[in-house]
Protein backbone atom coordinates (compact mmCIF):
# COMPACT_ATOMS: atom_id res chain seq x y z
CA UNK A 1 0.00 0.00 0.00
CA UNK A 2 1.32 3.42 -0.94
CA UNK A 3 1.04 6.05 1.76
CA UNK A 4 1.92 9.73 1.71
CA UNK A 5 3.33 11.14 4.94
CA UNK A 6 3.25 14.93 5.19
CA UNK A 7 5.36 16.51 7.89
CA UNK A 8 3.39 18.98 9.95
CA UNK A 9 4.67 21.85 12.03
CA UNK A 10 4.38 21.41 15.78
CA UNK A 11 3.77 24.32 18.16
CA UNK A 12 6.66 25.42 20.33
CA UNK A 13 9.38 23.84 18.19
CA UNK A 14 12.20 26.20 17.22
CA UNK A 15 14.97 25.84 14.63
CA UNK A 16 17.67 25.62 17.31
CA UNK A 17 16.16 22.33 18.55
CA UNK A 18 17.30 20.68 15.31
CA UNK A 19 20.95 20.07 16.20
CA UNK A 20 23.46 18.73 13.70
CA UNK A 21 23.67 15.47 15.69
CA UNK A 22 19.94 14.79 15.59
CA UNK A 23 19.75 15.76 11.91
CA UNK A 24 22.57 13.36 11.11
CA UNK A 25 20.89 10.47 12.94
CA UNK A 26 17.63 11.37 11.16
CA UNK A 27 19.38 11.21 7.79
CA UNK A 28 20.98 7.86 8.67
CA UNK A 29 17.62 6.36 9.70
CA UNK A 30 15.86 7.77 6.62
CA UNK A 31 18.55 6.20 4.44
CA UNK A 32 18.04 2.82 6.17
CA UNK A 33 14.29 3.04 5.57
CA UNK A 34 14.90 4.05 1.95
CA UNK A 35 17.25 1.14 1.38
CA UNK A 36 14.75 -1.26 2.96
CA UNK A 37 12.01 -0.06 0.58
CA UNK A 38 9.75 1.38 3.29
CA UNK A 39 10.47 4.93 2.13
CA UNK A 40 10.11 4.91 -1.66
CA UNK A 41 10.50 8.64 -2.24
CA UNK A 42 11.54 11.55 -0.06
CA UNK A 43 11.03 15.23 -0.80
CA UNK A 44 10.91 18.67 0.78
CA UNK A 45 8.04 20.96 -0.07
CA UNK A 46 9.06 23.88 -2.25
CA UNK A 47 6.98 26.37 -0.27
CA UNK A 48 8.24 25.44 3.22
CA UNK A 49 10.83 23.20 4.81
CA UNK A 50 8.66 20.18 5.55
CA UNK A 51 9.22 16.63 4.40
CA UNK A 52 6.93 14.65 2.12
CA UNK A 53 7.51 10.90 2.17
CA UNK A 54 6.04 8.21 -0.06
CA UNK A 55 5.95 5.00 1.96
CA UNK A 56 5.32 1.41 0.93
CA UNK A 57 3.73 -0.40 3.86
CA UNK A 58 1.19 -3.17 4.42
CA UNK A 59 -1.21 -0.85 6.25
CA UNK A 60 -1.55 2.44 8.13
CA UNK A 61 -0.36 0.92 11.39
CA UNK A 62 2.90 -0.19 9.80
CA UNK A 63 3.37 3.29 8.33
CA UNK A 64 2.90 4.83 11.78
CA UNK A 65 5.40 2.35 13.25
CA UNK A 66 7.95 3.11 10.54
CA UNK A 67 7.64 6.86 11.04
CA UNK A 68 7.91 6.42 14.82
CA UNK A 69 11.47 5.11 14.33
CA UNK A 70 12.67 8.45 12.95
CA UNK A 71 14.74 10.31 15.56
CA UNK A 72 12.95 13.64 14.98
CA UNK A 73 9.60 11.92 15.60
CA UNK A 74 10.96 10.14 18.70
CA UNK A 75 12.12 13.48 20.12
CA UNK A 76 8.76 15.11 19.39
CA UNK A 77 10.25 17.64 16.96
CA UNK A 78 8.11 16.63 13.98
CA UNK A 79 4.92 14.71 13.30
CA UNK A 80 3.26 13.45 10.15
CA UNK A 81 -0.18 13.41 8.62
CA UNK A 82 -0.57 9.98 7.02
CA UNK A 83 -2.68 9.59 3.88
CA UNK A 84 -3.39 6.14 2.37
CA UNK A 85 -3.59 5.96 -1.42
CA UNK A 86 -5.47 3.69 -3.81
CA UNK A 87 -5.11 3.32 -7.55
CA UNK A 88 -7.09 5.88 -9.54
CA UNK A 89 -10.48 4.31 -10.42
CA UNK A 90 -11.55 6.97 -12.90
CA UNK A 91 -10.38 5.26 -16.08
CA UNK A 92 -12.53 2.18 -15.59
CA UNK A 93 -15.50 4.38 -14.67
CA UNK A 94 -15.05 6.47 -17.82
CA UNK A 95 -14.51 3.49 -20.10
CA UNK A 96 -17.48 1.68 -18.62
CA UNK A 97 -19.69 4.71 -19.34
CA UNK A 98 -18.55 4.69 -23.00
CA UNK A 99 -19.73 1.08 -23.46
CA UNK A 100 -23.34 2.05 -22.72
Q: Helix/strand/coil (H, E, C) string of the chain?
A: CEEEEEEECCCCCCHHHCCHHHHHHHHHHHHHHHHHCCEEEEEECCCCCCEEEEEECCCHHHHHHHHHCCHHHHCCCCEEEEEECCCCCHHHHHHHHHHC
Q: How many domains does the chain have?
A: 1
Any idea what the CATH number is for the domain that residue 62 is in?
Answer: 3.30.70.1060
The mean per-residue pLDDT over the stretch 40-53 comes to 96
What pLDDT band is residue 100 in, cutting at 50, 70 and 90? low
Q: What is the pLDDT of residues 14-46, one digit of tens each?
A: 999 999 999 999 999 999 999 999 999 999 999
pLDDT at 97 over 70: no
Give the mean pLDDT of the chain.
Answer: 94
Q: Is residue 47 very low, low, confident or very high in pLDDT (cuts 50, 70, 90)?
A: very high
Whether 98 shows a pLDDT value over 90: the answer reads no
* pLDDT score at 50: 95
Domain residues for 85? 2-99
Residue 90 has pLDDT above 70, yes or no: yes
In this prediction the pTM is 0.87
Amino acid sequence: MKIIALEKELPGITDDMFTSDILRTEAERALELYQSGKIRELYFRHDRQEAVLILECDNMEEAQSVLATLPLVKKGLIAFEIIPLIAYPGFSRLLENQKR
